[in-house]
Amino acid sequence: MMKDILQQLEERRETARLGGGQKRIDSQHGRGKLTARERVELLLDEDSFEEYDMFKTHRCTDFDMQNNKPAGDGVIVGWGTINGRMVYVFSQDFTVLGGSVSATHAQKICKIMDMAMQNGAPVIGINDSGGARIQEGVDSLAGYGEVFERNIMASGVVPQISLIMGPCAGGAVYSPAMTDFIFMVKDSSYMFVTGPDVVKTVTNEHVTAEELGGASTHTKKSSVADGAFENDVEAIAEVRRLVDFLPLNNREKPPVRPFFDEPDRIEDSLDTLIPENPNTPYDMKELITKLADEGDFYEIQQDFAGNIVTGFIRMEGQTVGVVANQPMVLAGVLDIDSARKAARFVRFCDAFEIPILTLVDVPGFLPGTKQEYDGVIKHGAKLLFAYGEATVPKVTVITRKAYGGAYVVMASKHLRADVNYAWPTSEIAVMGAKGATEILYRSELGDEEKIAKRTQDYEDAFANPFVAAERGFIDEVIQPRSTRKRVARAFAMLRNKKQTMPWKKHDNIPL
Ligand code: HXC
């Protein structure tokens, strides 16, 4: 008798685990997608998944739904570990009613989000859903609303990561949109507010789902997503790598990993990184990887606004967020896209106690009507604001140009940066020598010899780090080869930094 009961539990579990049945599982596999359960298994450490609400069903009776009540209601929820550290997970099951969101499906997601907030661990959401369950109407919409509110409350409290692994359309996109990072899978996921059919009707544009809201669109054009991956397996592996950099919540420091790289490693090659000609580009990523423990750099938004580089490294085993101008793309100028990209990254780091390293080689802001009409003033201010409000340890290294407003924006001393270094190759000034001479000596412009002399004089006097260093705006001019050591020691010195803000309800960052 007892044996039967135990047996029955196993049978019920088996049925629940099969989701929408073998045929639909095969169809999911046929599209190159893993099932909701396979994704969870792959994401978490082996045998670490604790599932909740496996038998939860919807209570809808419209459209004969009382006769179609699959166990689990189209989403798998619970917690487990990633390299031993706790995370909460939900994974929508497209084989069950298209992964559509009912009132109970939403309740399951809310349950683990509440636990994540209470117990201080990240939430990872795997999205693969036809959206609001049509049979449930407004109950479904209410469910989405409850999830949205939790996304907002959790923002800045626990890291939230979204994997998009199938359809994600309509208002459903706004839950991932409010999380910290969105990863998409190429050719099998899409996100849009209105689909291709509605677009055709309203604007007469003909566009495929992939063009409108695929991984490529969102990582290259819209910047809605932070990374695009070849398949489910790769995307999940990259989420595991990302989680290793992050703290579990905003009251904890990021994890410290054993490291196998001398903090005072000297990199002689950096002494020749900067080309003779100030207009010749070089790859800032070379500097980043040479500063990082074991050369490991986890880039965020690699395919968008390449003129600024954002991502995570470790120094002495501790996570550091890096923001760096990239001279290889648009000479490293700041513009709307790069300012928005970096501002969001800086705010993430600040919210989660991740120190920020800023590497500066910036000729200024991108000129043009397009930039001005699209609001470069407001968007550029986002980055300025983000740096200025951040209270985490901030270390800045100027490698070459730091001109004008962009000098101030890029974590200058004036924005409460803690340690500001400059390489001897730095030029910290209002603008480059040529531009400055042309304005200051306009009347001499016809006389090439005079202008050349003026330019040379300006270069000698101002195109260097020492004017700023004399004023204490630069703490020290350092040898490029010793940068890793200097930066690592600066962060070590800042480990117990505490900085407070004036009382306010919240700020009013120029959104
Ligand atoms: C109920 C749904 C569903 C939904 C899919 N299914 N979407 N059931 N509500 N929203 C079911 C299908 O009936 C089908 O059931 C199974 O899931 C698989 O769907 P298919 O259509 O066979 O799959 P596919 O051809 O791959 O197409 C996937 C799809 C399509 C593109 C997602 O199903 C679709 O367009 N669905 C409707 C999407 C939609 O309009 N949703 C509402 C959006 S508004 P069987 O039993 O045959 O397997 C929204 C607002 C959120 O979400 C608001 C937040 C505030």
Chain segment 53-77, per-residue pLDDT in tens? 999 999 999 999 999 999 999 999 9
In a shared domain, residues 191 and 283: no
Residue 406 annotated among the catalytic residues of the structure? yes
In a domain? residue 501: no
> Do residues 408 and 391 make contact, with C-beta atoms less than 8 angstroms apart?
no
CATH of the domain at 38: 3.90.226.10
Q: Which amino acid belongs to residue 155?
A: S
Residue 55: how many other CB atoms lie within 10 Å: 12
Kindly give, in sequence order, each residue whose CB lies less than 8 Å from that of residue 84, ignoring residues fewer than 6 positions away.
45
Active-site entry in 132, 154, 386, 406: 406
pLDDT of residue 431: 87
Active-site entry in 156, 195, 306, 405: 405
- Pair of tokens at residue 507: 């700020």
In a domain? residue 401: yes
What confidence tens digit (pLDDT) does each residue in 120-175 have?
A: 999 999 999 999 999 999 999 999 999 999 999 999 999 999 999 999 999 999 99
Residue nearest to atom 20 of ligand 1 (CA): 98
In a shared domain, residues 316 and 226: no
What confidence tens digit (pLDDT) does each residue in 452-461 have?
A: 999 999 989 9
The answer for 375, left when phi > 0, alpha when psi is -120 to 50, beta otherwise, is left
In a shared domain, residues 436 and 332: no
pLDDT of residue 490: 98
In a domain? residue 504: no
- Map tokens 């692994």 to a residue: 165
Residue 446 annotated among the catalytic residues of the structure? no
What confidence tens digit (pLDDT) does each residue in 421-454 have?
A: 999 999 999 988 888 998 999 999 889 999 999 9
In a domain? residue 498: no
Cα(255)–Cα(351) distance, integer angstroms = 15
In a domain? residue 211: yes
> Do residues 458 and 464 make contact, with C-beta atoms less than 8 angstroms apart?
no
In a shared domain, residues 344 and 448: no
pLDDT band of 360, cuts 50, 70, 90: very high
In a domain? residue 352: yes
pLDDT of residue 351: 98
Beta strand spans in 215-259 (E): 227-229
In a domain? residue 81: yes
Cα(475)–Cα(125) distance, integer angstroms = 44
In a shared domain, residues 444 and 470: no
In a shared domain, residues 468 and 457: no
- Pair of tokens at residue 295: 């050369």
CA of 132 to the centre of ligand 1 (A): 8
Residue 482, pLDDT above cutoff 90: yes
Q: Ligand 1 pocket test: which of 97, 138, 147 has the largest number of ligand atoms within 8 Å of its C-beta? A: 97
In a shared domain, residues 190 and 307: no
In a shared domain, residues 274 and 157: no
In a shared domain, residues 34 and 109: yes
In a domain? residue 250: no
pLDDT of residue 434: 87
Cα(111)–Cα(487) distance, integer angstroms = 42
Q: Which amino acid belongs to residue 144?
A: Y
Q: Which of 288-302, 392-406, 444-458 bottoms out in mean pLDDT, i.e. has the lowest?
A: 444-458
Residue 280, pLDDT above cutoff 80: yes
In a shared domain, residues 314 and 436: no
In a shared domain, residues 51 and 191: yes
Residue 172 annotated among the catalytic residues of the structure? no
pLDDT of residue 1: 75
Residue 44, pLDDT above cutoff 80: yes
Q: Containing H/E element for 19?
A: none
Q: Within 6 Å (CB) of ligand 1, which residues are found?
A: 97-98, 100, 130-134, 141, 144, 167, 169-172
Among positive and negative, which fits the CA dihedral 122, 127, 131, 136? negative
pLDDT over 90 for what percent of the chain? 96
Range of the domain at 134: 2-243
Q: What is the pTM of this model?
A: 0.96
Active-site entry in 21, 32, 145, 171: 171
pLDDT of residue 435: 87
pLDDT of residue 153: 98
* Average of per-residue pLDDT across 169-183: 96
Atom of ligand 1 nearest to the CA of 98: 17
Residue nearest to atom 32 of ligand 1 (CA): 130
Concatenate the DSSP letters of all residues of 149-170 into one string: HHHHHHTTTS-EEEEE-SEEEG
pLDDT of residue 456: 92
- Pair of tokens at residue 275: 């080309």
Tell me what the pLDDT averaged over the chain comes to: 97
Domain count, the chain: 3
Residue 213 annotated among the catalytic residues of the structure? no
Residue 343, pLDDT above cutoff 90: yes
Atom of ligand 1 nearest to the CA of 166: 32
In a shared domain, residues 323 and 471: yes
Look at residues 208, 243, 278 and tell me which one is the last residue of a structural domain: 243
